[in-house]
Structure 1
Amino acid sequence: MLYIRGNRRDFDQWESFGNPGWGYRDILYYFKKSEDQRNPYLAKDKIYHQTGGYLTIQDAPYNTPLGVAFLEAGQEMGYDILDVNGAQQTGFAFYQYTMRRATRCSAAKAFIRPIRLRPNFHLALWTHVTRVLIDPATKRAYGVEFIREGKRQVVYARKEVILSAGAINSPQLLMLSGIGPKEHLQEVGVPVLYNSPGVGQNLQDHIAVGGLVFLIDQPISIVMNRLVNINSALRYAITEDGPLTSSVGLEAVGFISTKYANASDDWPDIEFMITSSSTNSDGGTHVKNAHGLSDAFYNEVFSEINNRDVFGVFPMMLRPMSRGFIKLRSSNPLHYPLMYHNYLTHPHDVNVMREGVKAAIAFGQTSSMRRFGARFHGKPLPNCKHLPLFTDEYWNCAIRQYTMTIYHMSCTAKMGPATDPMAVVDPQLRVYGVKGLRVIDASIMPTITNGNINAPVMMIAEKGSDMIKQQWMRRKRRTYGSGNFSVAA
């Protein structure tokens, strides 16, 4: 639900890699094309925002008293309060959400519901795609094979196949279809149709440090056993307001630059995800599962503050240098792929994360937060007790023990020019080596964007759909103009 477009330098960098049309001046149009901005103070900025699109954007209808304090704390640290999707990213703001009338405005609600009755649209649920059908002689994609209700079925394409299965499944399907690193495909017994060494490589993700919890003395944070009740439910149902509209307490965002970033560039390297709840706020069960924590770890570190009033800061590293990869487990399309994330394998990432943690501790010590009695819950992590608390060595250990994915997997079928041997798709998102096949999803990113990737993926889809229309409309005009009235295939 978090609507963060990223930084203009992300997209200018994509263009500098040899991807014309993907610079910020070009892609801003596609962010705005989707947008129906419901916040008047943002909608009036016609340079960066627009109303009337399919995707509704708004601020949360509900904020705790901590929300404004978060922004004031950012100001104390020397940062501006601003629109992080506008002219400048470095600074603090309330989150913007893909939300409509207090509920999630998902991609399905925004883009599929309005066109679901069109005669040329069909959505098949509970369907597992197993491969793209490609003619081995012509190297042209002509359909898709899938399993539905236990039966193998096939759908054919007259023009092209669009693969939008995400940064994990798109490279998996490419490899199952014979497009990928030759040696790996041969190893798992998939016939090689085109040797594309970049498929599944270049895996990037955003990770954040968990467990940075600050106790407060006032009963104002999002504590689930206090706020999930009949009064909150009625408020949500009748007035579309109240704590149940909160996105797990995420109220404010801060983009900051550590000493490893050039602060004058407005290209921050840490995002603070600031919450009026934290690791201990729901009794532990959901957090333990979501964060992969053992009972022993959770009980030792957080049980003593279970369901106390707190706020949390999750420092998220924006531009990791570590790279992972995805492989096929086997040639069976029902087997999950193997993912090797290689988090924190580059020392630069550890350094940036450590400085992000130290900045988060400083954030909690500002006078804006201290007026709520804020103090850091500094219980040593189990495997780091042997190190002096709050030293660089301790934080390096803590980072490796309690760092979590934010589920922004991307970049595994990257876009690039034909001269780049690791590029999987060209700047029109067409797969190299195969005709009639495009990939349009997070996997085509050359590098991950500066922030949560919800909005950039929708931008990629908007731009990709325009590319498809432009290609086939041009071809149709050429066909009719020549006197040949057959439909172009």
Structure 2
Amino acid sequence: MSAVLEDVVGKTFDYIIAGGGTAGLTLAARLSEDPARTVLVLEAGGENIDDPMILRPGCYGIHFGNDKYAWTHFTKPQEHIDERKVLWTRGKGLGGSSAINFFSWMKPPAEDINDFERLGNPGWNWERYNHALNKLEGFVCPSDESLAEGQLKAGLWQLGTEGILKITFPPKFNRIEALVQEALFKNDIPPAPNSLGGDPKGYFLTPNTHDPSTYTRSYATTAFYLPNKDRPNLTVLVNAHVTQVITEPTDSQDMKASGVEFLYEGKQRSVHATREVVLCAGALRSPQILELSGIGDPKILEKINVPVRVNLPGVGTNVQDHLMIGTSWELKDDPLLETMDILVDPAAVAEHIELHKTRQGLFTQGLVGYTFCSLDMISSKADEIFKSTKEAVMKKIASESFTSSQKEQYRMQLDRMKYRRPSIEFITFPGLARRTQGLSLTPGKKYFTLNVSNFHAFSRGTIHCTSNDPLQDPEFDPRYFEDDVDLQVLVEALHFARKLVATEPLKNIIAADIIPGPSVAEGNNEQMRDFVKKTFFSPWHTCSSCSMLPREKGGVVDPYLKVYGTTNLRVVDLSIIPIHIATHTQATVYAIAEIAAEIITGTEA
């Protein structure tokens, strides 16, 4: 199905794309629409085609730790959480993380995207972003019965319906979703005015990347690779690990990318490009490839014995991530409450696999219940936290060690707090989701989980090579909780989660507090801070390691996604966004790829 080595090595292509993940396959499909362009995709993982473990919804998280489906990375020991290493998992194989994510199709507040433009990137605004997504969205509206069941108002969705990427709601909504929404409303949290149209502040149900004809995963492979795999001008080679970009000088001071080197079956190979090389390796790997290619901070490159090709200190800096904690409760015995916990029983798994064939059962279910809040909506301490944060930030801004870009971003972060943009998330999950905390399911018991996120973290980190060995991970240092406000926000969100579950009708279905449990007293702030530091995790939305910013402000790519100091090398993945956004990131990666295709082909609207 995919290419063999002989189709690639020693050959020349117009475009070489490093990474066959979400962005890479989307971009490849768009570029290869013109039969006059030849496109090569090199993917470090395997094909993983027609794999039910990928295609079947309801298989949340089973891919993590499995070398066939996922890359397993860890951060360096983090100073502010007692030297913990935090797991960073990413999708491995065609489709990348779109093959193993949790299916949610979500968009950020419009102003979060408009912040890209405010930071020096003309044209990177909500209108362009949403237009790009509408082109690839193939939304299928649920039935009138489902709309009524979920209390959904279809007219509010700004979704495309003609695109190739199938998006829809699960065929059935879990009863727990309605109970959560009623409890939210009683706590003065309103429904979101337009959750997919730039105003997601409040609670909402969101669609999933499911194909409604089969209720299987719709992702980059099914949407952009398989329909186009037989194009004679599109070549995809798997198990090909790109190690560096081959560059050569030009008459100007800029370098030209003439190809890439890659590892295949343990041997170094090369392939040439006549037009462009595009890195779509993700926020963790794209900065590594740049540094191994001699593009980055000379101080870093000197340490790893790589000659400097382009002096670009911004590579691997400005790294940002979302922060998440899990809270879980045991439910009372109620046959009307259906949770995913039953799937620990092999007999139940077999039963629901059969049900899935008829578009029924738990394997058709998705995560749909979300709530986005500003701090003032959930905490009486919002003004106090803003005041103390502003004082701390202004001291940092006054420091000579802070760059102009950092100062600009921190002021923007303060404005996000001041003007009460949504920055906190609550996710409904019908089951015990955080088994990594040493807990296991009690047979026959049912559970309910609220995952809580901080979207607008202040802390900034780095991703840098410590070796010129391409198979050795770079050092991942997000510097979690370097800014204490990030911790304070999660503690306040934890308070609210407990308050929510103590509100009817949720209160009526709860039997016991499991996580954090009674050992973390509601009135003990130190215990709650300690719980957050010990148990928080990354939802794997790391970004900004190759930020789209002016070069003098630490930028790596310009608004055309071209790497500064090069004539034809671009980065197209989540690493380019300059400041993080309040949403899950799947849709945004697709948007970046679609906009990149418009830029490269000259078809911008």
TM-score range, shorter chain: 0.7 to 0.9
Q: What is the CA-CA distance between 1:245 and the residue it aligns to?
A: 2.0
Which residue pairs with 2:490 in the alignment? 353
Residue by residue over 1:133-152, the C-alpha shift from the partner in whole angstroms, topping out at 9 and shown as x without a partner, is 10045511111111123332
Which residue pairs with 1:323 in the alignment? 460
Partner letter of residue 88 of structure 1?
A: D
- Asked whether the equivalents of residues 423 and 456 of structure 2 are also in contact (C-alpha less than 8 Å), the reply is yes
Change (3 A) 1:304 1:153: closer
Name the CA distance, whole Å, in 2 between partners of 1:379 and 1:442. 32
Structure 1: tracts of 5 or more residues without a match: 281-286, 474-489
What number of residue pairs does the alignment pair up? Answer: 447
Change (3 A) 1:225 1:10: same
Among candidates 196, 200, 203, match of residue 85 of structure 1:
196
Which residue pairs with 1:97 in the alignment? 208
Partner SS state of residue 158, structure 1: strand
Among candidates 430, 433, 452, match of residue 562 of structure 2:
430
Cα RMSD (Å) of the superposition?
A: 2.4
Is 1:129 the counterpart of 2:246 in the alignment?
A: no
Is 1:51 the counterpart of 2:161 in the alignment?
A: yes
Is 1:215 the counterpart of 2:331 in the alignment?
A: yes
Change (3 A) 1:44 1:255: closer
Higher alpha-carbon deviation: 12-21 or 225-234: 225-234
Matches within 5 A, 1:38-437: 38-40=140-142, 45=155, 48-82=158-192, 83-100=194-211, 101-136=214-249, 139-219=255-335, 220=337, 221-223=339-341, 224-225=343-344, 228-237=348-357, 239-247=358-366, 250-259=367-376, 260=382, 265=419, 267-279=421-433, 287-288=435-436, 293=437, 298=438, 302=439, 308-373=445-510, 375-377=512-514, 389-420=522-553, 422-437=554-569
Change (3 A) 1:373 1:400: closer
- Asked whether the equivalents of residues 157 and 196 of structure 2 are also in contact (C-alpha less than 8 Å), the reply is no
Identity of aligned residues (%): 29
Higher alpha-carbon deviation: 429-438 or 391-400: 391-400
Partner letter of residue 202 of structure 2?
A: G
Partner letter of residue 173 of structure 1?
A: I
- Asked whether the equivalents of residues 15 and 21 of structure 1 are also in contact (C-alpha less than 8 Å), the reply is yes
Q: What is the CA-CA distance between 1:63 and the residue it aligns to?
A: 3.0
Name the CA distance, whole Å, in 2 between partners of 1:5 and 1:304. 33
Structure 2: tracts of 5 or more residues without a match: 1-102, 377-381, 387-415
Q: What is the CA-CA distance between 1:75 and the residue it aligns to?
A: 1.9
Q: What is the CA-CA distance between 1:255 and the residue it aligns to?
A: 0.7
Name the CA distance, whole Å, in 2 between partners of 1:4 and 1:459. 12
Higher alpha-carbon deviation: 118-127 or 67-76: 67-76
Partner SS state of residue 159, structure 1: strand
Partner letter of residue 319 of structure 1?
A: H
Name the CA distance, whole Å, in 2 between partners of 1:360 and 1:43. 26
Change (3 A) 1:89 1:266: farther
Change (3 A) 1:179 1:254: same
Name the CA distance, whole Å, in 2 between partners of 1:379 and 1:144. 49
Name the CA distance, whole Å, in 2 between partners of 1:54 and 1:266. 36
- Asked whether the equivalents of residues 375 and 420 of structure 2 are also in contact (C-alpha less than 8 Å), the reply is no
Partner letter of residue 473 of structure 2?
A: Y
- Asked whether the equivalents of residues 70 and 369 of structure 1 are also in contact (C-alpha less than 8 Å), the reply is yes
TM-score, with length taken from structure 2: 0.70
Partner SS state of residue 570, structure 2: strand
- Asked whether the equivalents of residues 12 and 22 of structure 1 are also in contact (C-alpha less than 8 Å), the reply is yes
Higher alpha-carbon deviation: 26-35 or 77-86: 77-86
Which residue pairs with 1:487 in the alignment? none
- Asked whether the equivalents of residues 61 and 242 of structure 1 are also in contact (C-alpha less than 8 Å), the reply is no
TM-score, with length taken from structure 1: 0.86
Name the CA distance, whole Å, in 2 between partners of 1:106 and 1:124. 19
